[in-house]
Amino acid sequence: MGPEPAVIFQDLPDGALRVLAPAKVNLVLEVVGRRPDGYHDLEMANVTVSLYDELTLRLPGTGDPLRLTTDDPRLPAGEGNLVVKAARGLLALEGPAGTSGGGGGGISIHLRKRIPVGAGLGGGSSDAAATLLGLVRLLGLRTPPDELDRIALSVGSDVPYLMRGGGAVCRGRGEKVEPAPCPAGLPLLVAWPRVGLSTAAVYAAQTPPLTPGVGRANVLFATIRTGARGGGWGDLREQLFNRLEAPARRLCPEVGRLIDELNRMDTLGVVMSGSGSAVVALARDAGHARTIGADIGRRVSCDTFVVETVAG
């Protein structure tokens, strides 16, 4: 798996394991073309940030082999949740070693949701990645990294990247992950207009460009490395890019208004994350990010999160 993942493990006194699953933001997202399998070929510059969902994994759990609960009643707690899909994939691979629950009581997982749903921040995928890594740790499994990657991809395109996190250039569906060092602690403001967007609908509404801007992601990370020597982001304003912004604006006017208002403000650059609806504004420091958040909150109905980059 390479470097330590961006998830955070916390061993609890009762033997349970808490796993903090970070959100991701896309600083570049280019649609390179359509694929025969119905997906799109992408090129993305991804970073993980300090906005976390919280999963608590416990052995023994209930009498069931696997049980998920969540504090968000809008989320499915069964097979429709990526946490369950990830856990089932790992337990199917490991057999009795993964299902015994350390005493026949099964595995219980509680998800405390903090990353907005349908925001383009990878919350569900990060929860799935945290589940895989957490169960390996909790159960003392020795699952080969290539098997974990296979299960991760079967759950979702972003999950292989979120198994590591940090800075990365991601290609293909998102599963081809090339680490790109990005300093921890770079400040930004995430603004969410309190409405979600369907990833499938946004992709269906866009047309891949005739001449995609391949190479944007590598150029952006090179600029970040240069900027880091001065203790900041570097001059990224013209390099931030998301091909899905136009269809997201058409489908959700709130996204367009949020982007436009942030672009009128004192930021280091603004970009929509993923397929929306969250928008990211780069900041000079945490105080600047808080100022941006307070200002945009007066202009647009939205939730704001002052965060920083976290390394993988």
Transcribe 74-92 into DSSP letters: TS--STTSHHHHHHHHHHH
Catalytic annotation on 24?
yes
Q: What share of the chain is helix, strand, coil (3-state, %, to 5)?
A: 30, 25, 40
**DSSP label of 197:** -
**For the chain, counts of helices (H) and of strands (E):** 10, 12
Residue 17 near residue 9, CB atoms below 8 Å: yes
Transcribe 85-141 into DSSP letters: HHHHHHHHHHTHHHHSTTTSS-EEEEEE--SPTTSSS-HHHHHHHHHHHHHHHHHT-
Residue 302 near residue 193, CB atoms below 8 Å: yes
Residue 228: which H helix or E strand, with range?
helix 216-228
| 189 three-class SS | strand
User: Structure tokens of 126?
Assistant: 């990060």
Residue identified by tokens 């995609």 is 212
- Out of 127, 149, 158, 295, pick the active-site residue: 158
- Out of 24, 53, 127, 149, pick the active-site residue: 24
Catalytic annotation on 41?
no
Q: Residue 141 is which amino acid? A: L
What positions carry a catalytic annotation? 24, 158
